[in-house]
Each structure stands twice: as structure tokens, then as C-alpha cells.
């Protein structure tokens, strides 16, 4: 059974490992191509956008895809909307791995805002040292608050995007442990953090470190992300795929 995994996340990489030696499925992993050197994957991988809903629909049809798993990041809302529309149009089953959001714990000082622009405004007028734990496209919003000193951690250099004048880059790829995050924030004399509520364990240590150092976190809300059948883990995705296989008509299993 040919399947498509929309990836770019820890969960997608975990699912890729679960599928790697399973000859019941012929999976393709799709990455958007945002990072210059993505982690090697044990599955056939295609890189780059499909060209909107129409392009995704054409790709699903041309590749004879029988099921799609959306394992994209909680803030990647557009590709998920396209997956819902394309799978509906073709009656291809779609399931989505939904990562639970982080919950505020005792000692957390979160300022919740809806957009990167609102996060920039929430930093206030007094100059501060700000850690931006965001993607490169979200950094542009901080050009509107040039009074702060920013420290941005990204995997690759930001490329041609407008940036605040006083910004320093640290290029690194997580995960980072709690002790490393605490040392990073203290060494750089960070006064406030801007983060997405990504959920999951891989990037949580910075939130725990902020709590211990009593630093406020400006938390950008999650977008509305359309989804298919809701799953909570890569293992859940395997069970769902097995159920799709079991429900297929014998004729389609013979490829007739």
C-alpha cells in the first residue's frame, strides 16, 4: 500500500523508522525543504512544495497513494489545510498526528499573544535582551521593535529577510537539554524569551529553564490547523495504517 507522510518533525522521523523495514507499505516522506541539510531518513524522501492543493491532488493521484499521514508541525497550518482538501477531493483516507500543547506550570510567567507581531509589541518599549526561539520567517516581525537586542537560534542562516538591526544568530539544531538551556540563557543575559507553543519534549527544556531562571516567556498561540483522523503518536499512526490495510478491498490489494 502506497502512503504519503507529510513530515518535517520528530514524529515524522519516528514514523519513518517504524516503517523502514515494513514491506506491507510503500511510504514516501515529504519535506518542505526549509533546512539546507535535513537529517537523513530511512525512507524514500521527496523535497519541496507540491504546488498548492491542486499540485498535491495531482501528486497523490499520479503516485497511487492510498493513505496520507499528516505529521507536520503544529504551526504548519497551510500544508494541513491542503492535505484535508486534497484527500477529501480524492476520497483518500487522512490521519494527523496531533502534538499536545505545553501547559503553563506553577512558576511559569507566560504572556500569551496571537501573532509574531503581537509578540514584538508585548516586549515593551524599554530595551531588553530577547531570545527568539522562532523560524526565520517569524523573525521579520521584530524589525518593528528595533530597540531590543535579539539572540535568535535557527538551524540555517536567515537568508534574505528583513530583520531588526541588533540581532545575533546562533546556528544550532536541537534537542538541547535543560542544563544547556539554562547555561545558554544565563551566559547571554537573556531577560525574556519569545517562543511558539510547539509541544513535545524536544524543545521543552528552554521553557523549563525559563521557569527556573524566573524569565517571562512571550508565547505565540497555535494557529487553527485542519486535520484528518486525530492520532497522538507515531505508534498510533502505525495502528491506523494497519487498519487501512485490513479494510482495503481484496481487488485493490491485488492491484486490479
Interacting residue ranges for ligand NAP, rule: CB under 6 A: 6-9, 30-32, 34, 49-52, 55-56, 72-73, 75-79, 82, 135, 196
Residue 137 CB, nearest distance to ligand NAP (Å)? 7
Beta bridge partners of 3: 27, 67
Q: State the CB neighbour count (10 A cutoff) for residue 222.
A: 16
- In the complex with ligand NAP, the residue whose CB is nearer, 32 or 84, is 32
Contacts of 255 (CB under 8 A, 6+ apart): none
150 half-sphere exposure, CB direction, 13 A CA radius: 25
Rounded-to-10 torsion of CA 131, 187, 164, 142: 10
Omega into 175 within 30° of 0, i.e. cis? Answer: yes
Q: State the CB neighbour count (10 A cutoff) for residue 22.
A: 12
Residue 152 CB, nearest distance to ligand NAP (Å)? 14
Residue 94 CB, nearest distance to ligand NAP (Å)? 14
Beta bridge partners of 46: 30
Alpha helical stretches, state H, 51-127: 52-62, 77-90, 116-122
Residue 12 CB, nearest distance to ligand NAP (Å)? 7
- In the complex with ligand NAP, the residue whose CB is nearer, 46 or 212, is 46
Q: Give phi and psi for 107, each to the nearest 5.
A: 100, -15
- In the complex with ligand NAP, the residue whose CB is nearer, 191 or 196, is 196
Residue 34 CB, nearest distance to ligand NAP (Å)? 5
Residue 202 CB, nearest distance to ligand NAP (Å)? 10
- In the complex with ligand NAP, the residue whose CB is nearer, 196 or 211, is 196
- In the complex with ligand NAP, the residue whose CB is nearer, 6 or 191, is 6
- In the complex with ligand NAP, the residue whose CB is nearer, 72 or 191, is 72
Amino acid at each position: 500500500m502506497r502512503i504519503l507522510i507529510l513530515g518535517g518533525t520528530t514524529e515524522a522521523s519516528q514514523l519513518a523508522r517504524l516503517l523502514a523495514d515494513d514491506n506491507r507499505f510503500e511510504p514516501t516522506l515529504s519535506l518542505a525543504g526549509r533546512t539546507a541539510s535535513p537529517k537523513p531518513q530511512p525512507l524514500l524522501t521527496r523535497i519541496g512544495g507540491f504546488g498548492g492543493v491542486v499540485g498535491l491532488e495531482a501528486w497523490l493521484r499520479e503516485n497511487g497513494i492510498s493513505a496520507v499521514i499528516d505529521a507536520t508541525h503544529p504551526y504548519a497550518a497551510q500544508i494541513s489545510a491542503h492535505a484535508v482538501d486534497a484527500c477529501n477531493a480524492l476520497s483518500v483516507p487522512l490521519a494527523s498526528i496531533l502534538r499536545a500543547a505545553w501547559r503553563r506550570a506553577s512558576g511559569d510567567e507566560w504572556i500569551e499573544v496571537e501573532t509574531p507581531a503581537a509578540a514584538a509589541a508585548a516586549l515593551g518599549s524599554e530595551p531588553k535582551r530577547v531570545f527568539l526561539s522562532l523560524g526565520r520567517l517569524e523573525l521579520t516581525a521584530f524589525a518593528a521593535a528595533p530597540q531590543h537586542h535579539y539572540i535568535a537560534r535557527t538551524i540555517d542562516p536567515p537568508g534574505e529577510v528583513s530583520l531588526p538591526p541588533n540581532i545575533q544568530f546562533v546556528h544550532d539544531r536541537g534537542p538541547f537539554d535543560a542544563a544547556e538551556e539554562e547555561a545558554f540563557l544565563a551566559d547571554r543575559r537573556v531577560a525574556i524569551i519569545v517562543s511558539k507553543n510547539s509541544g513535545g519534549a524536544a524543545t521543552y527544556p528552554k521553557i523549563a529553564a525559563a521557569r527556573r531562571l524566573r524569565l517571562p516567556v512571550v508565547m505565540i498561540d497555535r494557529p487553527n490547523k485542519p486535520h484528518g483522523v486525530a492520532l497522538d503518536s507515531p505508534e498510533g499512526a502505525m495502528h491506523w495504517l494497519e487498519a487501512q490495510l485490513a479494510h482495503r478491498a481484496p481487488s485493490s490489494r491485488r492491484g486490479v
